[in-house]
Amino acid sequence: MKIESWAGDIADIGAIYPLGGEAIMVVIGVVLWIAWFVIQARMENREYEEEISQMSDE
Protein backbone atom coordinates (compact mmCIF):
# COMPACT_ATOMS: atom_id res chain seq x y z
CA MET A 1 0.00 0.00 0.00
CA LYS A 2 1.38 3.39 -0.98
CA ILE A 3 0.41 6.97 -0.28
CA GLU A 4 -0.87 8.43 -3.54
CA SER A 5 -2.17 11.76 -2.26
CA TRP A 6 -2.18 13.84 0.92
CA ALA A 7 -5.66 15.15 0.09
CA GLY A 8 -8.56 14.03 2.27
CA ASP A 9 -8.72 13.54 6.03
CA ILE A 10 -5.19 13.30 7.48
CA ALA A 11 -6.62 11.51 10.52
CA ASP A 12 -7.34 8.52 8.28
CA ILE A 13 -3.69 8.09 7.29
CA GLY A 14 -1.71 5.42 9.12
CA ALA A 15 1.63 4.07 7.92
CA ILE A 16 3.31 6.36 5.40
CA TYR A 17 6.00 3.98 4.19
CA PRO A 18 5.24 1.56 1.34
CA LEU A 19 3.32 -0.92 3.50
CA GLY A 20 3.85 -4.67 3.12
CA GLY A 21 6.57 -7.27 3.45
CA GLU A 22 7.65 -6.22 6.96
CA ALA A 23 7.89 -9.79 8.30
CA ILE A 24 10.01 -10.90 5.34
CA MET A 25 12.32 -7.92 5.79
CA VAL A 26 12.69 -8.82 9.47
CA VAL A 27 13.63 -12.42 8.60
CA ILE A 28 16.14 -11.26 5.99
CA GLY A 29 17.50 -8.67 8.42
CA VAL A 30 18.01 -11.23 11.19
CA VAL A 31 19.73 -13.66 8.81
CA LEU A 32 22.08 -10.94 7.53
CA TRP A 33 22.76 -9.77 11.10
CA ILE A 34 23.84 -13.27 12.15
CA ALA A 35 25.75 -13.78 8.89
CA TRP A 36 27.70 -10.59 9.57
CA PHE A 37 28.99 -12.06 12.83
CA VAL A 38 30.05 -15.28 11.09
CA ILE A 39 31.81 -13.47 8.23
CA GLN A 40 33.52 -11.06 10.61
CA ALA A 41 34.74 -13.91 12.85
CA ARG A 42 36.37 -15.58 9.83
CA MET A 43 37.91 -12.27 8.74
CA GLU A 44 39.30 -11.68 12.21
CA ASN A 45 40.80 -15.18 12.43
CA ARG A 46 42.39 -14.81 9.00
CA GLU A 47 43.75 -11.37 9.92
CA TYR A 48 45.48 -12.72 13.04
CA GLU A 49 46.91 -15.69 11.12
CA GLU A 50 48.31 -13.40 8.42
CA GLU A 51 49.76 -10.97 10.94
CA ILE A 52 51.44 -13.74 12.91
CA SER A 53 52.85 -15.12 9.68
CA GLN A 54 54.11 -11.64 8.65
CA MET A 55 55.76 -11.20 12.02
CA SER A 56 57.54 -14.54 11.81
CA ASP A 57 58.80 -13.64 8.29
CA GLU A 58 60.37 -10.41 9.55
User: Which residues lie near other proteins (CB under 8 A)?
Assistant: 1, 10-17, 19, 22-23, 25-26, 29-30, 33, 36-37, 40-41, 44, 47-48, 50-52, 54-55
C-alpha distances in angstroms, 41 versus 6, 33, 44? Answer: 48, 13, 5
* Minimum CB distance to other proteins smaller for 7 or for 16: 16
- The distance of closest approach from Cβ of residue 5 to other proteins in the complex, given in angstroms and rounded to an integer, is 14
Report, in Å, the least distance between residue 2 CB and other proteins.
12
Query: Taking the C-alpha atoms of 25, 27, 32 and 38 in order, what is their torsion angle to the nearest 10 degrees?
Result: 170
| 3-state SS, residue 18 | coil
